């Protein structure tokens, strides 16, 4: 029984939101992701943890084809969302990225006003019926990202004029404004203070009601607080995947155990 357990938890029987099989990523000659198989559930927060350079961001970028934008990156294998192959030639990566939103480690607001940063996605995807509707979408997104109170009187000012932590919340508002089905977050709180971090963690929990959230974090406390499932990566391999409580209290693999107890990483 024990031998098959890791496989059984990485590949579930319930219908997953995201399935990955035999995923490899290369940057030139560097083999950054090695044969990853995983099923990611709907209405779940999944945390990716592991030492720096183990491939967390690389694997995350496979899920919305952001690696397409890196010329030397090559992705192999099969990744599906709701059973649909996202690397199929008929899939438009721009449409895919509206459905699979992303928040990066470094805030990257567009050189536009706060309002236009958030309104950008809803505008290009035609999500608002009129100006009042768009105003509502922008306000809701900013509220969900815990930025409304600070931003409401300066919506016409440039997004780049906000503080680092505010810019990150703006990027989160921009991502949620298109109502994505999946939200990928790559260390979203690394530029935030504890109060903003707590607000974002609350938002993540709320988003789970409707979406799947995949979050990369270096904070084990954060992974334990926000996620139901945790995946531990090491040197490009997905070493262990399972219930967050189990990964943190009784991991199967000695590498996971070493990492969570602070011996590697």
Ligand X SMILES: Nc1ncnc2c1ncn2[C@@H]1O[C@H](COP(=O)(O)OP(=O)(O)OP(=O)(O)O)[C@@H](O)[C@H]1O
- According to DSSP, the residues that pair with 49 across neighbouring strands are 232
Stretch that binds ligand X, among 25-33, 173-181, 196-204, 205-213 (CB under 6 A): 25-33
Looking at beta carbons only, is 101 or 121 nearer to Mg ion?
A: 101
Q: Which does 70 bind (CB under 5 to 8 A by kind): ligand X, Mg ion, none?
A: ligand X
Looking at beta carbons only, is 108 or 160 nearer to ligand X?
A: 108
Looking at beta carbons only, is 97 or 144 nearer to ligand X?
A: 97
- Side by side, the strands of the sheet bearing 30-40 are 30-40, 18-27, 73-81, 84-85
47 exposed, middle or buried (CB, 10 Å; 0-12, 13-18, 19+)? buried
CB of residue 177 to Mg ion, shortest distance in Å = 24
CA separation for the pair 130, 118 (Å, rounded): 15
- The site that binds Mg ion (CB under 5 A) totals a number of residues, namely 1
CB of residue 45 to ligand X, shortest distance in Å = 18
Looking at beta carbons only, is 162 or 183 nearer to ligand X?
A: 183
Q: How far is CA 70 from CA 25, 60, 67, in A?
A: 11, 14, 5
Question: For residues 216-245, which are near ligand X according to CB under 6 A?
Answer: none
Q: Which does 53 bind (CB under 5 to 8 A by kind): ligand X, Mg ion, none?
A: ligand X
CB of residue 113 to ligand X, shortest distance in Å = 30
CA separation for the pair 265, 257 (Å, rounded): 11
HSE of 38 in the Cβ direction (CA atoms, 13 Å)?
Answer: 28
Q: Which does 159 bind (CB under 5 to 8 A by kind): ligand X, Mg ion, none?
A: none
Q: Which of 9, 19, 57, 64 binds Mg ion (CB under 5 A)?
A: 57
Secondary structure in 3-state letters for 138-152 = HHHHHHHCCCHHHHC
Q: Please identify which residue in the block is written with the tokens 């109170």.
A: 149
Residue 64 in the binding site for Mg ion (CB under 5 A): no
Question: For residues 114-173, which are near ligand X according to CB under 6 A?
Answer: none
Look up residue 241 and give its two tokens: 């995947």
- Side by side, the strands of the sheet bearing 229-234 are 100-103, 182-186, 212-216, 45-49, 229-234, 237-243
Q: How far is CA 248 from CA 17, 217, 265, in A?
A: 24, 14, 15
Q: Which of 5, 30, 250, 261 binds ligand X (CB under 6 A)?
A: 30
Looking at beta carbons only, is 73 or 137 nearer to Mg ion?
A: 73
Q: Please identify which residue in the block is written with the tokens 């709701």.
A: 82
Binding mask 36-75 for ligand X (x = CB under 6 A): --------------x-xxxxxxx-----------x-x---
Looking at beta carbons only, is 53 or 161 nearer to ligand X?
A: 53
Looking at beta carbons only, is 154 or 263 nearer to ligand X?
A: 263
Point out which residues bind Mg ion (CB under 5 A): 57
Point out which residues bind ligand X (CB under 6 A): 27, 30, 32, 50, 52-58, 70, 72
């Amino acid at each position: 029984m024990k031998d098959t357990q890791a496989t059984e938890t990485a590949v579930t029987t319930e219908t997953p939101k995201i399935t990955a099989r035999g995923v490899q990523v290369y940057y030139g000659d560097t083999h950054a992701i090695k044969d990853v198989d995983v099923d990611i559930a709907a209405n779940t927060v999944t945390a990716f943890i592991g030492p720096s350079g183990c491939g967390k961001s690389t694997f995350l970028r496979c899920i919305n084809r952001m690696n397409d934008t890196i010329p030397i990156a090559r992705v192999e294998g099969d990744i599906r969302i709701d059973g649909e192959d996202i690397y199929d030639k008929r899939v438009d990566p721009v449409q895919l990225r509206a459905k699979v939103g992303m928040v990066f480690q470094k805030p990257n607001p567009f050189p536009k006003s706060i309002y236009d940063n958030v309104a950008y996605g809803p505008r290009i995807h035609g999500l608002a019926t009129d100006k009042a509707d768009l105003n509502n979408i922008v306000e809701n997104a900013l509220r969900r990202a815990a930025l409304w109170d600070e931003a409401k009187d300066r919506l016409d000012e440039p997004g780049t004029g906000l503080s680092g932590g505010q810019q990150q919340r703006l990027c989160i508002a921009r991502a949620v404004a298109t109502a994505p089905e999946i939200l990928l977050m790559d260390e979203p709180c690394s530029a935030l203070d504890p109060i903003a971090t707590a607000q974002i963690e609350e938002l993540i929990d709320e988003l789970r009601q409707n979406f799947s959230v995949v979050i990369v974090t270096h904070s084990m406390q954060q992974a334990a607080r926000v996620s139901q499932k945790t995946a531990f990566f090491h040197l490009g391999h997905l070493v262990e995947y399972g219930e967050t409580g189990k990964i943190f209290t009784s991991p199967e693999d000695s590498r996971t155990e070493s990492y969570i107890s602070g011996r590697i990483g």
